[in-house]
Amino acid sequence: MTKVGRPTIRDVAAAAGVSKGTVSFTLNGRAGVAEETRQRVLEAAEALGWTPSHQARALSASRAFAVGLVLAREPELLGADPFFPAFIAGVERTLSDAGQALVLQVVPDAEEEAGYRRLAGDGRVDGVFLLDLRVEEPRIALLRELALPAVTIARPDGPSDCPAVLVDDRPGIAAAVRHLVELGHRRIAHIAGPARFLHGWTRRRAFEDALADAGLGATAVVEADFSAAGGARATRALLDLAEPPTAIVCANDLMAIAGLSVALEYGIAVPSQLSFTGFDNTELSGYVAPPLTTVSTDPYLWGRLAADTLLSLIAGDPVDDVAVPPAALIVRGSTAPAPATH
């Protein structure tokens, strides 16, 4: 072959001395091709370095060979929160191994539904991931209407026919509260995520339930937005209380790390005067001063499991919910016994 460029089915057919149809049947594993002919075609394809055209494969199978992820978050928050890059890296690793692609859309809240409709209407994806579940999740019905296979990250709080990666934040938050109670803290506050997000609401409920189990009530709960700026504002609000907390449980590491800087600004020593816990065990959490006590999760693994499950769902294989290892409390230097009262 003297032509320069990617070898085609026509080139394989010429080298094997068969028709293009026979090559197509052979390379797609279809019946009706004699074994000797099949071997000749495969050897010709290997000798020429032939690989399937992604575009042609998608057209012939009426498949996009891509999956979608729509995120209704501010772009700057996506860049600052290590959860999203880790999750997407897990997804991409699995998709790459399977010859699939990820179509990512970052949209304003008001355009989220339109994002899913575009993906479905254009036939750009074969299925989607559902992150940032809402309380009374409305997108399940939308995806059913669009006939888009989906995998949810965590089990929705309402009816769902989508398989889920069974992320459960409650044990991690409960462990953080128990740790603080065992250290003698009685004025414990919570910086929560947005209540419209299921994980924000779930972590708040877990915090309140764990305090109730210890015979305590929350000193205060301040809702923030999972951002560093939101965590800083919430910490200031808590430290300005007439009776400020001696410990703060934050719904993610980003808000907790911002809270550490606010405590320094107020001249409050961490952990001797104020303890902090975070959630996610991001890489930075072990390198701040003091190192952050936090709850360890594995969004990279979640991404890999979610991608495996979605690809199986798209292929028509039987799928079920997927369990993940439970979150674990990592105790570091940001928590200490409650300060003595005078």
Q: What is the pLDDT of residue 52?
A: 60
Mean pLDDT value of segment 42-56 = 72
- The C-alpha atoms of residue 127 and residue 120 are separated, in whole angstroms, by 9
Which CATH fold topology does 66-168+299-325 show? Rossmann fold (3.40.50)
Average pLDDT (54-83) is 72
| Two tokens, residue 282 | 């991001």
Mean pLDDT, range 185-197, rounded to an integer:
96
Which two structure tokens, joined as six digits, stand for 262? 């606010």
Check if 9-51 and 170-296 are the same fold: no
CATH number of 9-51: 1.10.260.40
Q: In this structure, are residues 34 and 40 in contact, taking their beta carbons and an 8 Å threshold?
A: no
Quick check: 297 and 172 in contact, CB under 8 A? yes
Distance CA 240, CA 247 (A): 14
Selection from 237, 241, 157, 246 nearest residue 191 by Cα? 237
d(CA 269, CA 291): 13
pLDDT digits 0-9 by tens, 240-267: 999 999 999 999 999 999 999 999 999 9
Residue identified by tokens 């972590």 is 203
| pLDDT range class, residue 11, cuts 50, 70, 90 | confident
The verdict on domain 170-296 having CATH code 3.40.50.2300 is yes
Greatest mean pLDDT range, 28-32, 85-89, 116-120, 257-261 = 257-261
Q: Please identify which residue in the block is written with the tokens 């902090």.
A: 276
Q: Where are the domains of the chain?
A: 9-51, 66-168+299-325, 170-296
Q: Is the pTM of this model over 0.75?
A: yes
